[in-house]
Structure 1
Amino acid sequence: MTLQQDTPTARRLRTEIPGPASRALQDRREQAVAAGVGSVLPVYVTSASGGLLTDADGNTLIDLGSGIAVTNVGHSAPAVVDRVRKQACWFTHTCFMVTPYEGYVEVCEALAELTPGDHEKRSVLFNSGAEAVENAVKIARVATGRQAVVVFDHAYHGRTNLTMALTAKSVPYKHGFGPFAPEVYRVRGSYPFRDAPGLTGEAAARTAIDQIEKQIGADSVAAVVIEPIQGEGGFIEPAPGFLPALSRWCAENGVVFVADEVQTGFCRTGDWFASEHEGVVPDLIATAKGIAGGLPLAAVTGRAELVDAVPPGGLGGTYGGNPIACAAALGSIETMRNENLAASARRIGEVVLPRLRALAAETGVLGDVRGRGAMLAAEFVEPGTREPDPGLTARVARACHAAGVVVLTCGTYGNVVRLLPPLSLSSELLHEGLSVLEHAVRAEVNR
């Protein structure tokens, strides 16, 4: 597959953002779509390729969001498109629980090979990250015969009833939606920028473990569920040693260690999975987002004896492991392997982090610049303090959007700009997008 002549290769603004065609579509949306569904930037996309989005007004924007870490292989990656096209011609759905098909099995085989650890593994496929996390908890409860689930401050795990209970932030994810599922307990995690100076990962883990043992009891805990790098909570990378210490405690106490790698997985952090950075081998790993190049697919992969503790019929779903989504996943994995996108993610980090750290030193409003691979963040604060500045964060994001660069915000305090570029993004587009972000920060600081 080759690029068509009219496929854009650069950022191009023909109108203001959003333009008149997008505004007209927004008017239609407001009459038809639920108000509870938000959008970061109301430009209506008509096509996308690589790391560029083209909207209804003919504007072309640099995408530093990847649909929230989904299009890791870039938009319309050739191997994904080719496999999806072929599968759609063969059949679109049978329900794996009725009449199975090879694609589902192939994806599970690939997950057994790619996920950390050389133990025997089993996988089950779903549609979304929230489903994957929820089913990981189901598996852990059946396998251990216990009920309690431990999660962490600043965590985000989804929008279903159980995963809302696992999620920390109230607005907008939980407010007004209760009551929530019981037997969920929250403890302190590791947030180096906001922890006491010098607090090590091991010390932070001891604090968390002490809370668990005193307030819940190890023999009551089915699972510890944690994001190796917290996503919506602010791209918080725990201090070294925190995750291994928790994993060891789980192993010593018969607790299932569940890694929520929905946002960190599939080369995003410079490894296939973020758990690998410190050699952590989860008992269960929940994946989604980057697995299938933009199609809805998720998985739980884990130790065979745990996953197989659930009897037939206890796991599944009508659309879980849809054949077209499985085809897309196989194309996505093929692309990641052939193009060594884990190395590409590391190169992105090597470009972004020094530039953002220089900007932090220049402006004084970036309290922390952090991240790994192509999962990167800048935390905005009032100068000379650690006081969050969500207002400045929002203004910087809006300025980037107006200039044709898609960035996202996140964080418990709403003060983090996060960058999730496609791992295939060209060096030229990456540098250009960063220049727009730098200009936006300087302009807001000096206005």
Structure 2
Amino acid sequence: METITSSNQAIELEDKYGAHNYHPLPVVLARGEGVFLWDVEGKRYFDFLSAYSAVNQGHCHPRIKEAMIEQIGTLTLTSRAFYNDMLGPFEKYITEYFGFDKVLPMNTGAEGVETAIKLARKWGYERKGVVENHAKIIVAENNFHGRTTTIISFSNDSNARKNFGPYTDGFIRIPYNDISALKQALKEDGVVAFLVEPIQGEAGVYVPDNNFIRLAKEACASENVLFIADEIQTGIARTGSLLAVCGNCTCEGPCERQDTYTKPDILILGKALSGGFYPVSAVLADNHIMEVIKPGQHGSTFGGNPLGAKVAMTALEVVRDEKLALNARKLGRMFRERMQMVVDKYRVAKLVRGKGLLNAVVINDTPESSTAWEICMKLAENGLLAKPTHGNIIRFAPPLVMTEEQLHECCDIIEGVFSQFEK
């Protein structure tokens, strides 16, 4: 293996030997701990992206690391041709943790979404009585659920779709946060599910109206349609509650006694489910939905492997024991207050929005401009890593283990950089 001695060397190797399917900031990271990352040359940065919310528990959390090391030395993979001694305990733990009857474990977030789509269609044919091959799933405009062929078929992002067709049929796209449009779409024949992100992260951290999730679930229930919540990015305490569909619930887990909790019919999890150590995703549902899946109809060689199961259980324990949802809620309010002061003070920023520690600042320029990218480059120079999305929006999402003192230090960096971009 070639030893990396400089950032330029690493970048040149990726450019030469890797597919050019990403456009990263020119920072080559070599180490991480908690809220910090270090590059090859040893410069330290605050991480304000958290691997797209996969490391909510912070980089290289020692408790998760120890669990992984222990399991690596015991058993890593058996396939599902046999039982293993970690999967059952994991399934019991995660279903009780989130309040569902059953779980179907997978690996990546996109696999979780594909699993939910298959599950909803099969439920529609076998339980609702939809004519086979005529099931329809409602989705929202500007969604981001992954990059598989099926998923990009219902995306309206031309960059994700162009020249990857032919596309998969069976989807109805409606405006996000539009209950009237949802109710109208629900009246179409063959509708089996509504798939939605409680907050649209990749689209620029769009937070819907406070009652949108509740009204959407009620509308779906009235038409015998499944409500599917994609909480791959918003789940696992990121938005200040264990799940974004928990609303403003102050407990550390979903609780049906809370008026703010809207229980999905199908819940999709990923990213922080493993704390960034290993790809683990999960689809949760109650028996009347999950039991339509029979042996041989869906699976994965790695899905439900003992290493992933052990890591995921420990990652969830960390979230609960360290009260990361409460910390995300508290620090999120502080961050938006500080950023609102920046928006009020500097013309380069025009809007701050978000929930918990999933936030965005909209730059006062066109999506085609390079301003947001240039700001992120300058932030990196000053020791903070963030990334633009959709051209003129910067997403800010640090690990949930961040302290108040660290947050204010980061806000000082952000304000200092924004002040340099005044027109």
Secondary structure of 1:113's aligned partner: helix
Residue matched to 1:181 = 168
1:174 and 1:110 map into 2 onto residues whose CA distance is 38
Q: Which AA in structure 1 matches 2:352?
A: V
1:27 aligned residue: 12
* The one of 330, 337, 358 aligned to 1:354: 337
Q: Per-residue displacement from partner, 1:256-306 (whole Å, max 9, x unpaired)?
A: 110000000101111110011032110001110110011100000012110
Distance 2:191 2:369 in 1: 36
Q: What corresponds to 2:157 in structure 1?
A: 169
Match of 1:123 in 2: 103
When residues 42 and 322 of structure 1 are mapped into structure 2, their CA distance, relative to the original with a 3 A threshold, is farther
Q: Distance in 2 between matches of 1:289 and 1:402?
A: 27
1:364 paired with 2:343, answer no
Letter in 2 for 1:399: K
Displacement of 1:137 in angstroms is: 0.8
Q: CA deviation at 1:207?
A: 2.9
Cα separation, 2, equivalents of 1:352 and 1:324: 36
* 3-state secondary structure, aligned to 2:370: helix
1:242 Cα deviation (Å)? 1.5
Rounded to whole Å, the distance in 2 between the matches of 1:122 and 1:262 is: 18
Residues 37-59 of structure 1 show CA distances to partners (whole Å, capped at 9, x for unaligned) of x1422322221100111111111
Contact kept in structure 1, 2:347 and 2:422, CA below 8 Å: no
In the TM superposition, what are the counterparts of 1:224-263 in structure 2 within 5 Å? 224-263=194-233
Runs of at least 5 residues in structure 1 that lack an aligned partner in the other structure: 1-18, 191-203
* Amino acid of the structure 2 residue aligned with 1:243: I
The structure-2 alpha-carbon separation of the partners of 1:42 and 1:152, relative to structure 1 and needing over 3 Å to count, comes to: same
Deviations 1:385-421 (A, max 9, x none): xx6574322221121122221112224xx22111111
* Matching residue's letter, 1:283: D
Match of 2:328 among 345, 361, 364: 345
Distance 1:401 1:169 in 2: 28
- Deviation track 1:191-226 (CA, whole Å, cap 9, x = no partner) reads xxxxxxxxxxxxx3013322443xxx0x41111000
Give 2:184's aligned residue.
210
In structure 2, list runs of 5 or more residues that go unmatched.
248-259
- 1:253-402 pair list within 5 angstroms: 253-277=223-247, 278-294=260-276, 295-382=278-365, 388=367, 390-402=369-381
Give 3-state SS (helix, strand or coil) of 2:46's partner: strand
Shift of 1:136: 0.3
CA distance in 2, matches of 1:314, 1:390: 47
Select 1:102's aligned residue among 76, 80, 85: 85
Cα distance per residue 1:240-269 (max 9 Å; x no partner): 222211111111111111000000010111
Instruction: Show the counterpart of 2:57.
Output: 73
Task: Report the Cα distance in structure 2 between the residues aligned to 1:250 and 1:143, rounded to whole angstroms.
Answer: 15
Residue 11 of structure 1: aligned partner: none
| Partner Cα distance (2:28, 2:373) in 1 | 21
1:404 equivalent in alignment to 2:374: no
Contact preservation (8 Å) 2:186, 2:220: no
Letter in 1 for 2:169: P
User: 1:20, CA displacement in angstroms?
Assistant: 7.6
Normalised by the length of structure 2, the TM-score is 0.90
Between the aligned partners of 2:23 and 2:403, the Cα distance in structure 1 is 26
Whether contact under 8 Å (1:377, 1:417) holds in the other structure is yes
- How many residues of Structure 1 are paired with residues of Structure 2 in the alignment? 399
1:108 maps to amino acid? E
* Aligned mates of 1:207, 1:20 — CA distance in 2: 55
Would you say the 8 A contact 1:80–1:330 is kept in 2?
Answer: no
Q: How many angstroms does 1:141 deviate by? A: 0.5
SS in structure 1 at match of 2:301: coil
* Residue identity (%): 28
Question: 3-state DSSP class of the match of 1:90?
Answer: coil
Q: Distance in 1 between matches of 2:421 and 2:347?
A: 12
Q: In 2, distance between residues paired with 1:106 and 1:59?
A: 41
Deviations 1:314-340 (A, max 9, x none): 121011123222222112111111110
- Asked if the contact 1:156–1:168 (Cα under 8 Å) also holds between the matched residues in 2, the reply is no
